[in-house]
């Protein structure tokens, strides 16, 4: 995929379901598989010494596979639920009234990650 902005643009029509989805979770989840690669790659390279094919396998697993997407989504759900519980002010910039239930966040994250993987497979 050309970049994270394409994932955000493709996810934007889903914002019409803002009463049933959590937009913050949806948009973060649509770029999260790419963020995993950016945030974790220095650790994998400098600490664990992964290079070449092993490093490429790690990125492909989280960015383009259903299993990697599910693991990434589970991590993201936990982080978002903790952030919303302990930092409720993070949701203040959004003017729309959104659904902040655990069910809505879980559905939004899995939908965002699934859309990301689908777009990566198509491109």
Burial of 31 (0-12, 13-18, 19+ CB in 10 A): buried
| The predicted structure's pLDDT at residue 91 | 65
Predicted model pTM: 0.81
| The predicted structure's pLDDT at residue 111 | 92
| Predicted confidence band of residue 77 (pLDDT cuts 50, 70, 90) | very high
Burial of 11 (0-12, 13-18, 19+ CB in 10 A): buried
d(CA 101, CA 10): 24
d(CA 2, CA 29): 17
Task: For CA atoms 29, 57, 5, 13, give the dihedral sign.
Answer: negative
């Amino acid at each position: 995929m050309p970049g994270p902005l394409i994932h955000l643009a493709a996810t934007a029509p889903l914002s019409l379901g803002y009463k049933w989805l959590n937009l913050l979770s949806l948009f973060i989840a649509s770029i999260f598989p790419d963020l995993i690669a950016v945030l974790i790659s220095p650790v994998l390279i400098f600490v664990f010494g992964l290079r070449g094919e092993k490093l490429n396998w790690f990125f492909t697993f989280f960015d383009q596979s259903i299993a990697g997407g599910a693991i990434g989504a589970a991590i993201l759900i936990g982080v978002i639920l903790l952030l919303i519980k302990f930092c409720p002010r993070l949701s203040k910039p959004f003017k729309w009234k959104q659904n902040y239930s655990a069910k809505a966040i879980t559905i939004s994250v899995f939908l965002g990650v699934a859309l990301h993987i689908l777009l990566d497979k198509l491109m």
